[in-house]
Amino acid sequence: MSTFQDYVDTFDNESGYLNWAAFGPLSPSVRKEVFADADLLGSGRPSSLSLVAERIGQAQELVAELLGGDADDVTLQSSSTHGLMHALFGLSGAVIASTAEFPSVSLTLERASTASDRAIIPRWITPEDGRVTADAVREALDDEVVALAVSHVDFRTGYRTDLAALREAIGPDRLLILDAVQSFGVIDVDYSAADVVVGHGYKWLRAGRGSAFAWFSPPAPESASRPCSPVSPVRRPPVCSSTNSRRQRPRLAPSP
């Protein structure tokens, strides 16, 4: 039996299920490991807890392998939105995003702007057919723009953005922040064009909810890798200390 056939045989859910873009039924291997970990956690033994904690490093390595990056640059998240918060709440300047974006991008950008006392300024664009193309982005660029936040696959139309073209359009000194929830695990693409990639395992990876991640390329700003609360009462969100990533990253200089 081929390796591919072994994989096909793991799809033991009801025939005809087509709602993968909303939720991928858990694979048998995931269900098996979840039950095994539940038994370990049920014991309360330190040795059992340590075994379950090893899953963190394993998950980082697997995500990094799929992204073609380094496990040290992967942080695990409860949702992809939290990963976007990490990326957006530490910035200062204008951030381009489409008015047709999924709320995880648009609402997070608005909240980052409010929490930063408008240090972060949304630069909304309304491209034709809602497609975020390189030409549409170029029209919105100026010296104040520090980042572009975009979904890799549009949730309404299925349109897939051209990452290489967007990278070329914004140049090397601006951040390309990518929401890859609708593509990660099903589309083979070079993610190295992006500076930040957030995703989740509950769709195409069949890993269940709570299996999200954020990958920060080494040039990404240090503040983008630190979780900050969107409801912080202070004028600027504080830099928080909790992160799974061990590498410190330099802040990008604004584009000249």
Interval 174-181 mean pLDDT: 96
> In the chain, what percentage of residues exceed pLDDT 70?
84
Interval 93-107 mean pLDDT: 96
- Cα dihedral 141, 142, 144, 145, rounded to 10, equals 20
pTM of the model: 0.84
Average pLDDT, the chain: 85
The residue type found at 233 is P
> In the chain, what percentage of residues exceed pLDDT 90?
70
Please state, as a whole number, how many other Cβ atoms lie within 10 Å of the Cβ of residue 164. Answer: 13
The residue type found at 14 is E
What's the confidence (pLDDT) of residue 255? Answer: 34
Half-sphere exposure of 219 (CA within 13 A, CB side): 13
Three-state SS for 124? strand
Residue 114 has pLDDT above 50, yes or no: yes
The two structure tokens encoding residue 229: 């609360």
Three-state SS for 202? coil
What's the confidence (pLDDT) of residue 217? Answer: 87
Q: Torsions phi, psi of 124, nearest 5?
A: -80, 135
Question: For the chain, how many residues are written?
Answer: 256
The two structure tokens encoding residue 195: 């500076």
The pLDDT-based confidence of 15 (bands split at 50, 70, 90) is confident
Of the candidates 245, 197, 236, 229, the one whose C-alpha atom is nearest the C-alpha of residue 83 is 197
Residue 118 has pLDDT above 90, yes or no: yes
Strand 74-77 with 196-200, pairing: unpaired
pLDDT in tens, 48-77: 999 999 999 999 999 999 999 999 999 999
What's the confidence (pLDDT) of residue 105? Answer: 96
What's the confidence (pLDDT) of residue 218? Answer: 78
Residue 16 has pLDDT above 60, yes or no: yes
Between CA 119 and CA 77 the distance in angstroms is: 25
Q: CA torsion sign, 68 to 71 to 76 to 82?
A: negative
Residue 249 has pLDDT above 50, yes or no: no
Residue predicted with more confidence, 251 or 74: 74
Residue 24 has pLDDT above 90, yes or no: yes
Please state, as a whole number, how many other Cβ atoms lie within 10 Å of the Cβ of residue 146. Answer: 23
